[in-house]
Amino acid sequence: MKKSLLVLFIICLSNTLLAQYEVTIEAFVLDKETKQPIPYVNIGFIEKSIGTVSNEDGKFTLIYHEDIVGGKEFLQFSVLGYKTLKVRASQLVKFLTNTNKFYLIPEPVELEEVFIANETRNKKRIGNTNIVFNMMGYWKDEDVLGGEITTKIKIKKKQTKLLDLKFNIIENTSDSIKVLLAIFAHPDDETTISPILARYVREGIKVHLVIATDGRLGVNDHTDHEAGEGLVAMRKEEMKCAASELGVELHHLNYHDQLKSGEGYDGHMPQARALIKEIYGLVETIKPDVIITWGPDGSSNHIDHRLISATVTQVLVSKVWDNPFALYYYGNPSENIEDAEAKILRGQDKKYLATQIAYTEEDLKHAYNSRACHKTQMQATTFEAYKEGKAKNGMLIYLRKFESESKMSSSVFE
């Protein structure tokens, strides 16, 4: 970091102790023994999804807000061949006042014993020659810094040697990994917004998808499947297929359709309350920046859709979250609904649907392919017919943001 910026930061901090600041760190990572720069060091705040990587000269820039990163958080530096360095956020200003260099201590990597044998080997080229947008891996543990982009290549023979590896990074549009959480009732509900799920995956957003019910009651006129455990097993596999096609991380819960409302109060209430607590736990763990779910209408007025909407809303308002997130409800523009009664039951005036998200034909193809996974629920259609249906909404997904009052009031008529 430039020292002039640091001095200014310290002065501001001493004058206004309660203010929150955007902090910019510009520094270098060097080898402690050779004093040479270390490229491609992973740098970030643990479990905050705020991170970056040093360039070929060992230089990095990291921006964070004090209201997100507290003084007790650790800034971690990690790279193969060096000991991991952790610096507490409260010590950064003092540390960087004297230097803009972080030093890592070399740590030799021990390799397993290698046996050399004189054998004939066949060479084979494998992998993808086409650009693929939706390959992403993600994990969370106590040292997590964010998300990592990965691809998996299947190798059938165990004894295989990698001679050469080539890859291209096309685009990285995010300074830090953003997290989107979509929460819906049934396996296939995600098709309502799947084009924008594909879009955000393509743009490097980490997308989680929660499906609450097992789909056991999902019978229809165009298949002969019976309700029950057999249908549950099929729909679980269909949901895995759809999530894989979209490139999202699936969390498929095990609640019965309609949350056992047919069994009365004693059957329904334990499931309804358990669902609220489980969604609460997932939000705490995933720490989303945005949640998308059904609106109060449930799109079709389905009981499960409306229960999911109420559940997610309750989770949001149950406390002031340390990692605040925006909540969006899916909406149906009334002007796009022909039936007068349906306009009342499930429509919203566009005045309230202020967030309108576009997507590309590439995104739509991923959505179409994921829809095809739901064979027990969806009738087969061509991509052109599917695209024509989406075009009625202008190739847009309409959302309504949950808004809360920012000031206290003593009257409902103000």
Q: Are 57 and 199 in a shared domain?
A: no
Residue range 22-32: mean pLDDT, rounded: 90
Q: Which residue range(s) make up the domain with 204?
A: 179-401
Count CB neighbours of 47 within 10 A. Answer: 17
User: Which residue(s) pair with 290 in the sheet?
Assistant: 180, 326
Q: Residue 351: what pLDDT?
A: 94
The SS3 call for residue 103 is strand
Q: Residue 13: what pLDDT?
A: 41
User: Which residue(s) pair with 330 in the sheet?
Assistant: 399
Q: Are 68 and 201 in a shared domain?
A: no
Q: Are 267 and 375 in a shared domain?
A: yes
How far apart are alpha carbons 252 and 103 in whole angstroms?
Answer: 44
At 99, which CATH number?
2.60.40.1120
**Is the pLDDT at 111 greater than 80, yes or no?**
no
How far apart are alpha carbons 388 and 7 in whole angstroms?
Answer: 59
For the chain, count helices (H), then strands (E): 10, 14
pLDDT tens per residue, range 276-316: 999 999 999 999 999 999 999 999 999 999 999 999 999 99
At which of 104, 120, 137 does a domain end? 104
Residue range 130-145: mean pLDDT, rounded: 50
For the sheet containing 22-31, what is the strand order? Answer: 59-65, 22-31, 101-104
Report the domain count for the chain.
Answer: 2
Is residue 122 domain-resident? no
Q: Are 73 and 210 in a shared domain?
A: no
At which of 65, 81, 104 does a domain end? 104
Tokens found for residue 71: 């003084």
At 334, which CATH number?
3.40.50.10320
Q: Residue 174: what pLDDT?
A: 47
Closest alpha carbon to 254 in 187, 180, 181, 182:
187
Residue range 167-175: mean pLDDT, rounded: 54
pLDDT tens per residue, range 326-356: 999 999 999 999 999 999 999 999 999 999 9
Q: Are 63 and 212 in a shared domain?
A: no
Residue 372 · residue 171 · CB < 8 Å: no
Is residue 252 domain-resident? yes
User: DSSP H helical segments within 71-208, as ranges?
Assistant: 92-98, 194-202
Tokens found for residue 38: 């270390």
Is residue 290 domain-resident? yes
- Confidence band for 131, pLDDT divided at 50, 70 and 90: low
Is residue 230 domain-resident? yes
pLDDT tens per residue, range 260-275: 999 999 999 999 999 9
